[in-house]
Amino acid sequence: MKKLSYILLGVLLGVAITASAGAYAASSGLIGSKVAGMKEVKLNGKSVGQAAIINNSSYLPVRAISEAMRLNIDLSGGVIGLNSSTPDFVQDPTIEEARLNDLQTKREIILRQINSPIFVSDLDTWRKAVPYYQNELLTAADFQKADLEAKLADAQKNLQDFEAKLADLQAQLAEIDAQIAALQDQQ
């Protein structure tokens, strides 16, 4: 008889546990729901994790989002708390990183312009052309001088334009380098 009461008690406990788990699952709304798909989640272009799509809503793991946003996790009293580790007045580091990436991209574009084989070749051509035409004028016959003077003037103008463009690119590069240095000092 004692054995039968233990069996009956076990069955009753099993039924109670099963029924309470079902009632809890029904109240939470997500337990037992079908995951319709997974989607990559990006923050400022960087992947931070995979979100589960359940009942047309996205669910991202708390750990993934907190790390991506540089938040501290506090699990106490059955509540997950997310807290900023920096004061509100500090600029979002992802914005600074984006600004730094933008400046570095602009820097690369300017360096490509300065070091472009066509730009370098044209600048070198005009640098050589000016003294060449100046030298040719010294020994030229009178009937050739007008043509050589026009070619010299054209070469001087082109050289001046190319050197002005080079100076402008170098000034832009110096400004970008200063901005990059200032951003790196802030980090």
For residue 28, the model assigns a pLDDT of: 52
* 19 within domain boundaries: no
Number of separate helices (H) and strands (E) present in the chain? 5, 5
| Residue 103 shares a structural domain with residue 134 | yes
* 155 within domain boundaries: yes
- Point out the domain boundary residue: 50, 70, 87: 87
Q: How many domains does the chain have?
A: 2
For residue 7, the model assigns a pLDDT of: 58
| Residue 98 shares a structural domain with residue 176 | yes
CATH of the domain at 166: 1.10.287
| Residue 56 shares a structural domain with residue 102 | no
| Residue 123 shares a structural domain with residue 158 | yes
What is the domain range of residue 160?
A: 93-186
Measured CA to CA in angstroms, residue 106 lies from 50, 113, 149, 173, 179 at distances of: 32, 11, 40, 9, 11
Q: What is the pTM of this model?
A: 0.48
* 9 within domain boundaries: no
| Residue 182 shares a structural domain with residue 119 | yes
The tens digit of pLDDT for each residue in 81-109 reads 777 665 554 555 677 888 888 999 999 99
| Residue 128 shares a structural domain with residue 162 | yes
Which residues, given as ranges, of the chain have pLDDT below 50? 4-6, 8-9, 11-13, 15-16, 19, 21-27, 89
For residue 134, the model assigns a pLDDT of: 95
For residue 30, the model assigns a pLDDT of: 62
* 80 within domain boundaries: yes
* 53 within domain boundaries: yes
Task: Give the residue among 118, 149, 113 at the shortest CA–CA distance from 133.
Answer: 149
Tokens representing 87? 């004061």
| Residue 57 shares a structural domain with residue 134 | no
- Point out the domain boundary residue: 87, 104, 120: 87
* 143 within domain boundaries: yes
* 66 within domain boundaries: yes
* 3 within domain boundaries: no
CA distance 48 to 41: 6
| Residue 79 shares a structural domain with residue 101 | no
